[in-house]
Amino acid sequence: MEVDQRKYIKKCKVCGDERMVGFNFNVLTCASCRIFFHRNGERNHNQMTCLNNGNCLINVHTRKSCTQCRLRKCLFIGMRRMTFRCKRKKQDNDLKITIQNQTVLQKNESNCERFIIARIRHWLQMVSDGLISTSESIEPTISQVNVTKDISNNDNDKLELNRWECYHLSHVQKSISVFIDENRVQTVVNLNDYAKHTFNIPALYATRIVQFCNNFQTFKELPKKQQLNILKPFYVELLAIRIAFLFDQKRNGFFMMENESGNRVIFIQNSLFNTPRTSRPNVISISNIIRQIKFEMEDDPIIRDLLITISLFKPRDNLHNRYREVIGYKYYQYTNLLRRYLENKHQSLMKAKEKLTRIIHLINDLPYIYHDYRRRLLEVGYENVNQVLAEVFELTNQ
Amino acid sequence: MEVDQRKYIKKCKVCGDERMVGFNFNVLTCASCRIFFHRNGERNHNQMTCLNNGNCLINVHTRKSCTQCRLRKCLFIGMRRMTFRCKRKKQDNDLKITIQNQTVLQKNESNCERFIIARIRHWLQMVSDGLISTSESIEPTISQVNVTKDISNNDNDKLELNRWECYHLSHVQKSISVFIDENRVQTVVNLNDYAKHTFNIPALYATRIVQFCNNFQTFKELPKKQQLNILKPFYVELLAIRIAFLFDQKRNGFFMMENESGNRVIFIQNSLFNTPRTSRPNVISISNIIRQIKFEMEDDPIIRDLLITISLFKPRDNLHNRYREVIGYKYYQYTNLLRRYLENKHQSLMKAKEKLTRIIHLINDLPYIYHDYRRRLLEVGYENVNQVLAEVFELTNQ
DNA sequence: AGCGCACATGCTGTTCCT
DNA sequence: AAGGAACAGCATGTGCGC
Ligand SMILES: [Zn+2]
Ligand SMILES: [Zn+2]
Ligand SMILES: [Zn+2]
Ligand SMILES: [Zn+2]
């Protein structure tokens, strides 16, 4: 990767201000954008009014003018409160933390957390500077998560997330951040078909997906062939989930960044997920799947990120028997984490369980999207399909 | 004219608010728009920033969001401070006021003014409600203006405008208000030629110009044929002056209202007043005339309105000899009023005189615009020209 | 270092006064 | 009735403490 010297100047990811910049709510921002998010982060930006149809350019001078667009940009670049409460227990104090073969014993809880967060931030900074690939993962080990899961015995404490659960959530979120400036699409408006619009940057997207997956040691240790078997369908599933998240049902379209600096957010209006009339009536509706996923995510990026991770490790027929168990364990682990997160969020075991069931069904439906895409690409013809997409969808030129 | 019952509900002309509406700074507005204009009226709206390229829709909910567009709308619909100071003299007290054949003797100056202003407002309200045509003029008689002109003898008092001068200014402004929602043009963007863009509402415009002219008794009493001789060239001159006023040199375009309610202001960018390369080099440049008029108006609607009125009564070759004197007197009267206004505004006799000379030259250059338009319309061909325009430009179908 | 809190500033809109 | 003053409310941004 290229190293751009200019990137070393710290700049607010929201407004571009260079004064008083630091990591706030997970993102490099200035002090004013920090307090802005602190004050408005809970509000729903869809209920706010924008004079410019959500098209405002946010910079140091204009950041005051449109609250909606500023807030949407904050959320878009990944700013978020840690809403889940982290339970602090005496027995958590002497935990052993394994980070990349280096074992660190932390007596002081606060220092321990600070150390972890500092590592995450350093890593994030390095990634965003393009200095390293995401292989420098700091994923917690499976055994530790397992241990903490068994700690909670008291009913009152059950709904609280323990430190390791919080840490796992953080890890997922940090991993997903490789997609933050994913949408380098330029001047993409009024598109009519799938391929042109979603996959105009397939190679870049593929690279980032591999970076994301490599954050999980289990995936990283798989043989290349098995990785590919997962990556091909996962490519589409991840896209579908992310686009469902961005999708605005009221406007029937979604927002994305227009250029690299991410200063301009454009709105793409289309009928992307409308199943065409020509398809057979008994086929599952793609648009319904997307809409249901959208609904279940509750506009919550943490649910989205867990959904993506669960989708990564979900059982797949084309996976070699030898690796099914280890992948299955990750699937169980993250499904469990999602359940715990939902329990904590909704403060209800019942509600969380029902929601989880629906989500698992949806994740099992995701292959339909893959096959629908593939069918459409076949119609377009091999010659007209991007090389990477042809690879992803296993298209051949005969 | 049709009578619309809904129009009887008083509404703010800026934001449409129906609470606390009254006449403020010459226009029917709500209290918040009043204080907004009170606070921002002096600022230059071109130096303010708008996220939407000056395209913002202003209503009760959005009025807070874009200061620039709100201020521009305030100015656009005619809000203005009475910057000229009105001198109050003892000898003004016993003035005889003739309004529509009804002679009212006012001892009390303050009550007199209130009476006049109340009449103007009532009339304005009636006009804007569509109840009456503008023929219910309240133009002051010539003799009275003449009298007051001779009152000022003291040098120190010379620069102050007396009550009758102020009243005349008001009359001109009120008369011009028939054009306030003139620009009913819908979705007119990126135009390339004159005719399509300026004259897509020629009939409506003609009606309003006649309404405006009929506010002046001298014009009203002319025979129809003489009125037409004035109206035809004046049609173009008035348009040219008003468009020059709206013209934004920095952006090379101008703002106009998009629809009847005037809630949406659109920006028209074009090369409207660029003299085409194909014209002979020694012909006076239309764009230069427009730019100079723009410059002399100082963004001051009062100067604009006086310029229009002077243009109405300026000497014309096609006018019958019998009426030249009475029209000439009006020309002298309003030229004089403009000089007095400029003296008062710039507090300098010299500056005012120089400026007035330049303005008179410009007014004499206005026929060039008429002939330039006419030449272009001839190129378009009689069949393709609007009926009213063909009449205005005396085009024949042979 | 990052987050919350407090204060200062600027813009808005209503009430009151003349 | 129109315009100005003043107060209250809200959003924003900087400085401070933990
Ligand atoms: Zn910022
Ligand atoms: Zn906006
Ligand atoms: Zn208003
Ligand atoms: Zn605006």
Query: In Å, what is the separation between the CA of A352 and the C1' of D18?
Result: 36
Q: Worst-scoring range by mean pLDDT, A362-371, B4-13, B206-215, B380-389? A: B4-13
- Closest residue of chain A to B61, computed from CA coordinates: A49
pLDDT tens string A144-198: 333 333 333 444 455 666 666 766 777 787 777 666 543 322 222 233 333 333 3
Per-residue pLDDT band at B363 (split at 50, 70, 90): very high
Contacts of A56 in chain B (CB under 8 A): 51-52
Alpha helices in B184-260 (DSSP H): 194-198, 202-213, 217-220, 224-246
State the amino acid at position B109 in one-letter form.
E
Answer yes or no: pTM beyond 0.80.
no
Query: In Å, what is the separation between the CA of A73 and the C1' of D13?
Result: 19
pLDDT, residue A234, reads 92
Compute, in angstroms, the gap from residue A263 CA to the centroid of ligand 2. Answer: 13
- Whether the Cβ atoms of residue A137 and residue A98 lie closer than 8 Å to each other: no
Calculate how close chain B gets to A66, using CA atoms only, in Å: 7
Task: Select the more confidently predicted residue: B316 or A134.
Answer: B316
Chain A residues 33-92 with CB within 8 Å of chain B: 49, 51-52, 55-57, 61-62, 65-66, 69
Report the complex ipTM.
Answer: 0.43
pLDDT, residue A83, reads 45
| B66/A51 Cβ within 8 A | yes
Q: Residue A32 above 90 pLDDT?
A: yes
Q: Worst-scoring range by mean pLDDT, A122-131, A181-190, A269-278, B242-251? A: A181-190
pLDDT tens string B174-229: 777 666 543 222 222 232 332 333 334 566 667 778 888 888 888 988 888 888 88
Q: Residue A291 above 50 pLDDT?
A: yes
Q: Of the segments A70-79, A276-285, B210-219, which one has the largest average pLDDT value? A: B210-219
CA dist., res. A117 & res. A134, Å (int)? 16
Residue B235: HSE in the Cβ half-sphere, 13 Å Cα cutoff: 28
pLDDT tens string A333-345: 888 888 888 887 7
Q: Provide the CA A140 distance to its chain's centre, in angstroms.
A: 18
CA dist., res. B132 & res. B196, Å (int)? 31
- Mean of per-residue pLDDT scores for chain B: 66
Calculate how close chain A gets to B166, using CA atoms only, in Å: 40
Query: Mean pLDDT over residues A105-134, rounded?
Result: 36
Task: Select the more confidently predicted residue: B396 or B125.
Answer: B396
Compute, in angstroms, the gap from residue A56 CA to the centroid of ligand 4. Answer: 11
Helix axes B301-313, B349-380, angle to 10 degrees: 70
pLDDT, residue B4, reads 38
Q: Which residue has the tokens 């878009």?
A: A76
State the amino acid at position A194 in one-letter form.
Y
Contacts of A55 in chain B (CB under 8 A): 52
Sign of the Cα pseudo-torsion (B279, B283, B288, B294, in order): negative
Contacts of B69 in chain A (CB under 8 A): 51
Which residue from A232, A199, A207 is spatially nearest to A391, judged by alpha carbons? A232
> Which bases of chain C come closer than 7 Å to a protein CB?
1-6, 11-15
Q: Worst-scoring range by mean pLDDT, A235-239, B51-55, B226-230, B241-245? A: B51-55
- Whether the Cβ atoms of residue B213 and residue B398 lie closer than 8 Å to each other: no
| A62/B65 Cβ within 8 A | no
- Which nucleotide has the least CA–C1' distance to A34? C3
pLDDT, residue A37, reads 92
- Written as six digits, the tokens of B16 are 């449409």
> Which bases of chain D come closer than 7 Å to a protein CB?
1-6, 11-15
Q: Which ligand is nearest to the CA of B11?
A: 3
Residue B112: HSE in the Cβ half-sphere, 13 Å Cα cutoff: 19
Contacts of B61 in chain A (CB under 8 A): 49
- Closest residue of chain A to B49, computed from CA coordinates: A62
